[in-house]
Amino acid sequence: MRIKKTMSCKAIEYNCISDSFNKSYLPKIGDVALFEVLEIGKHKTVQLSNKRNATILQGDKILGSFANRYATAQFEGYLPDQPTEILDILGAGGAIGIVKSKNAAFHDIEPTKLKLLGFALDDNQQIINTIYNQTQRKVFRGEVPNQAKVILSLGSTMDSGKTTSAAYLARGIKNNNKKVAFIKLTGTCYSKDKDLVYDCGADISIDFMDAGFPSTFLINLSDLKDLYQTLLDQLIPHNPDYIVMEIADGLVQKETEELIRDGDFMKTVSDIVLSCGDSLAVFWGVDFLNKLGKKPTVIAGRFTMSPLLIDEVSKRVPIPVKTLEGLMDKSIIQLFS
């Protein structure tokens, strides 16, 4: 039976799979291992290294990497705190760990269960780790390629519309014949978001996986800033005029809040697009950012599906509200010039 190599391990080649570490080694984020599917739960497919979503069945073998996950609408999961044989799929891109909590929408759905078969070893018989495996780490220096304008796409919470706003904004900027790059800086491995922005017109679309991170939950601030610089430097050959960048989850998620409170990080950001699910989220989100000395340039997100909610917000917040049509309109660039 063929091994299904997940997106989290897309750049990985290994010498062998060994079970010699299974009972004594405590895995780190990015460690690569082979797993057998024991029981199908929430995840019935995994995204392969070629981006194809492959059906998985009991008995299948998948190559994945250990990770943490923070997803308020899905799973909260962590690396095991002791050598563990039975694990869970945390994300379809091949993030593997142990589920701690789940959204009530999945109260009767268990995570897909895996058995650890062995770790992937290199030619020196060392466990392979995905992080910076194929990419040189760059220390944060706050340099943006081509002095591009960085537009930060933030959201009130998961599924508030951050990626969609970023994608349609990229389209609007591209409609002005500008070179647009997209970075998804944080999240859990799965290429859907960066693929959407690319499909909408971005000239290049990259994310944390392009530096080998299967997820960024619980990565410290210094490492996140180095990851940011590493991704920025990958854009140098493309000479972008604008970089649209998404940070996952909501404003008060750990890594998100740390980044937007960091002065050196925010010095690289020209503008903010805030996406929200309802009017109260807009009011609180704008106030939260204002207290940090930041004012969104545009407000967007799921709430703009409702003309009534747009009216509620527009009457109370002196910031342009844009629907998807407004974001991709050629005139949008006037707000970011």
Helix residue ranges per DSSP H, the chain: 162-174, 192-199, 221-234, 254-261, 263-266, 279-291, 307-314, 324-328
| Claim to verify: residue 277 and residue 319 sit in the same structural domain | yes
| Claim to verify: residue 162 and residue 293 sit in the same structural domain | yes
Q: What pLDDT score does 251 carry?
A: 97
pLDDT, one tens digit per residue, over 175-208 is 999 999 999 999 999 999 999 999 999 999 999 9
Q: What pLDDT score does 337 carry?
A: 83
Closest CA to 91 of 208, 3, 205: 208
Max Cα distance, the chain (Å) = 64
pLDDT at 1 over 90: no
| Claim to verify: residue 267 and residue 320 sit in the same structural domain | yes
Q: Is residue 129 part of a domain?
A: no
Q: What pLDDT score does 297 carry?
A: 99
CATH value at residue 181: 3.40.50.300
Determine the Cα–Cα distance for residues 163 and 186; give it in Å rounded to an integer: 12
Please give the share of the chain, as a percent, with pLDDT higher than 90: 98
Q: Is residue 46 part of a domain?
A: yes
| Claim to verify: residue 115 and residue 83 sit in the same structural domain | yes
| Claim to verify: residue 169 and residue 264 sit in the same structural domain | yes
What residues are paired with 127 via a beta bridge? 121
pLDDT, one tens digit per residue, over 108-163 is 999 999 999 999 999 999 999 999 999 999 999 999 999 999 999 999 999 999 99
Crossing angle of helices 254-261 and 221-234, in 10° steps, is: 80
Q: What is the mean pLDDT of residues 1-9?
A: 95
Q: What pLDDT score does 299 carry?
A: 99
Q: What is the mean pLDDT of residues 57-71?
A: 98
Helix (H, G, I), strand (E, B) or coil at 18: strand
Q: Is residue 134 part of a domain?
A: no
Determine the Cα–Cα distance for residues 211 and 65; give it in Å rounded to an integer: 14
The model's pTM: 0.97
Task: Show the tokens assigned to 125.
Answer: 């018989």
Q: What pLDDT score does 24 carry?
A: 97
Which of 66, 86, 121 delimits the end of a domain? 121
| Claim to verify: residue 115 and residue 17 sit in the same structural domain | yes
| Claim to verify: residue 206 and residue 113 sit in the same structural domain | no
Domain containing residue 43? 3-121
Domain count, the chain: 2
